[in-house]
Amino acid sequence: DGGITQSPKYLFRKEGQNVTLSCEQNLNHDAMYWYRQDPGQGLRLIYYSQIVNDFQKGDIAEGYSVSREKKESFPLTVTSAQKNPTAFYLCASSIGRGGEQFFGPGTRLTVL
Amino acid sequence: KQEVTQIPAALSVPEGENLVLNCSFTDSAIYNLQWFRQDPGKGLTSLLLIQSSQREQTSGRLNASLDKSSGRSTLYIAASQPGDSATYLCAVQNPGDALNFGKGTSLLVTP
């Protein structure tokens, strides 16, 4: 089955720790995205990548980092510099920038 | 910056009713508009994508329309069912820009 997988489903982090969220797709899509969703707010873009080895900051990139070494993978690291990391994180992909976006099941991150 | 508004924020209807969800946006120079469904604690499921050159798209009981000049889109759900209960999100993309999301409409269809 083609699709987008995210792991883990739930993640708990202590303050001061860096954590990495996984996102993998087998849709052969060039573009991948990371969004953050908070209660009562719309999704906000953290980072996006249009092609391997290239990525751009979104609206709320501070405290986050990404890499795009393979077409299929776009991991997101939440660093200790992110002051309020507790949220639901969603990964998406599209054939290219501007194409229909398809989303993974999400990772819920909680800071203890 | 593009702003997307969805009205109403929440809606409850009895099973079998036809209903309309509304989405408005401030910048009419859009590239496309996408409607999504989100179940609690889950990711987003793409329902319909309307390109800027299109006026509407249909999928089963769903019909989405787009009026760029007025900055509006509607999602029409025919013969609603309890399984349609979810949050519906509208997202607009401007050329060269990322998706801009509304806050969603939470729909409850009661048996």
pLDDT reported for residue A96: 86
* CB hemisphere CA count around B30 (13 angstroms): 32
User: Could you tell me the pLDDT band of residue A75, with boundaries at 50, 70 and 90?
Assistant: very high
Residue A94 confidence class, pLDDT cut points 50, 70, 90:
very high
- Give the pLDDT score at A1: 59
Inform me whether the C-beta atom of residue A67 falls under 8 Å from chain B C-beta atoms.
no
For residue A50, the chain B residues in CB contact (below 8 A) are: none
Q: Residue B77 burial by CB count (10 A; 0-12/13-18/19+): exposed, middle or buried?
A: buried
**Portion 3-62 of A in contact with B at CB < 8 A:** 4, 6, 33, 40-45, 48, 58-59
Q: pLDDT truncated to tens, each residue of chain B (111 aa)?
A: 899 999 999 999 999 999 999 999 999 999 999 999 999 999 999 999 999 999 999 999 999 999 999 999 999 999 999 999 999 999 999 887 789 999 999 999 999
Q: What is the pLDDT of residues A9-52, one digit of tens each?
A: 999 988 889 999 999 999 999 999 999 999 888 899 999 999 99
CB pair distance less than 8 Å for A103 and B104: no
pLDDT at residue B1 in the model: 84
- pLDDT for position B22: 97
Q: Which residues contact A88 (CB under 8 A, 6 or more apart)?
A: A36, A37, A38, A106, A107, A108, A109, B41
Report residue A2's pLDDT band, with 50, 70 and 90 as the boundaries: low
Residue A112 scores a pLDDT above 90: no
Interface residue A100 vs chain B (CB under 8 A): yes
Q: Which amino acid is at A47?
A: Y
Percentage of chain A surpassing pLDDT 90? 81
